[in-house]
Amino acid sequence: MEDGPRIRALLESDDPLAAEAALWADLRSVGTPLIEPHPDDPDTCLVTFLWYADRPVERVVVNEAVSSLPPEARALSLAPGTSTWFATWPVKSDVRTTYHFEVFAGSGSERIGDEHARVREPHDYSVLGSPESVLVCPGAEPLSWADRRPDIPRGTVTGAVLGDGREVWVYTPPGYDHLADPLGVLVVLDGHARHSAVTVLDNLHADGRIEPTAAILVGQLDRNAELTCDAGFSRFLAWELLPWAREAYRLTAAPARTVITGCSLGGLCAAYTGLRHPEAFGNVLMLSGSVWWDPDTLREYFQLAGSGPRAIGARSRTPAIIGEYMRAERAAIRIFQEVGAFETGPPPATPHQIHASRHFRDVLTLKGYDYVYREFAGGHDETWWRSHLGDGLIWLTDPRGADRG
């Protein structure tokens, strides 16, 4: 792939160490990755991922959520005579993606964030246990609902343990003690005490974009079982969790003011629960919901793991949630659905996430649902979900109305 001018200058320098020192002095000030204009396409930029080796390493690979490239195509090269590893890619200028490095040395590898990243975010489910590195190209959509503001009132989060040992946390908005009317309700799957939904709700309340709303952040006991179209778990959410919360807090019982949301498998569960229990949840907010999911596909995938490739000609099935919506009468729910335009996985997703999501959208159209469907310029990636939770809540609940497009 074509290198940008800064890397070409390093590679062509007669004094690579001096050129490297000058490059990193600049990068430590402006941040990484290096983003430069593409010489032939104004809608594309040249992005150079850079890692400085402070120890001997054998290989460096960049992992991100948009390219779907195999590891060998994501490997960085070592600039001769330096400690700088680099890889330059042409990237569309509206792309935003989380990334990290995988550094191989000896018999093992280590995941490492980009310590000089221009953008770092505290993700809810970080693989690093620290803020994630994020590439934000020049034309990427600005995201702000999940940014913590220092000068606004904050809600309160209180934890509880239910009878089955499940942890839940309840967020109440600023001024809750002085509010007379029952609050709107947001149920967040895969929840925890510091979930970004808390910041999103604080910001939405501060800007007056939603009615006063409480959130129930639900911890999972076994997410792979509970979030995959499980009738018992959905019944628990509707018939046990909501009544428990209403006894302890002043919450609405109106399904039209109650939203269930989740990301990935959580989005799948939200769609399934809304269909099964519209008497409890009148609004579904899916962020990269795993619409591709099918239990038989998963079972075959794990059975074949280690026993050779899947037979050529094996056919994919209609995903479970699409079949559920096709067979059922239209439920009295509204749906906000988003998916990354580059979500062509994860294995064993057949069909791929993006194609299954479009199929689900078409079923919603056929059935006459009130819904929004959007594709963002990213992959299966929390950097988008954190802020777009706010967009979904505005469309589903804003009493002043919102753009339905």
CA distances from 326 to 226, 232, 243, 331, 361 (A): 22, 21, 30, 11, 11
331 pLDDT band, cuts 50/70/90, is very high
Q: Higher-confidence residue: 303 or 27?
A: 27
In the predicted structure, residue 298 carries a pLDDT above the cut 70: no
Q: Report the mean per-residue pLDDT for the chain.
A: 92
Q: Show the domains of the chain with their CATH numbers.
A: 5-136 (2.60.40.10), 156-397 (3.40.50.1820)
What span, in angstroms and rounded, lies between the C-alpha atoms of 231 and 371? 23
What span, in angstroms and rounded, lies between the C-alpha atoms of 97 and 376? 11
In the predicted structure, residue 325 carries a pLDDT above the cut 80: yes
Token pair in block for residue 212: 């006063």
226-245, pLDDT tens digit by residue?
999 999 999 999 999 999 99
What span, in angstroms and rounded, lies between the C-alpha atoms of 23 and 17? 10
Instruction: Return the pLDDT at 381.
Output: 96
156-206, pLDDT tens digit by residue?
999 999 999 999 999 999 999 999 999 999 999 999 999 999 999 999 999
R_g of the chain computed on alpha carbons: 23
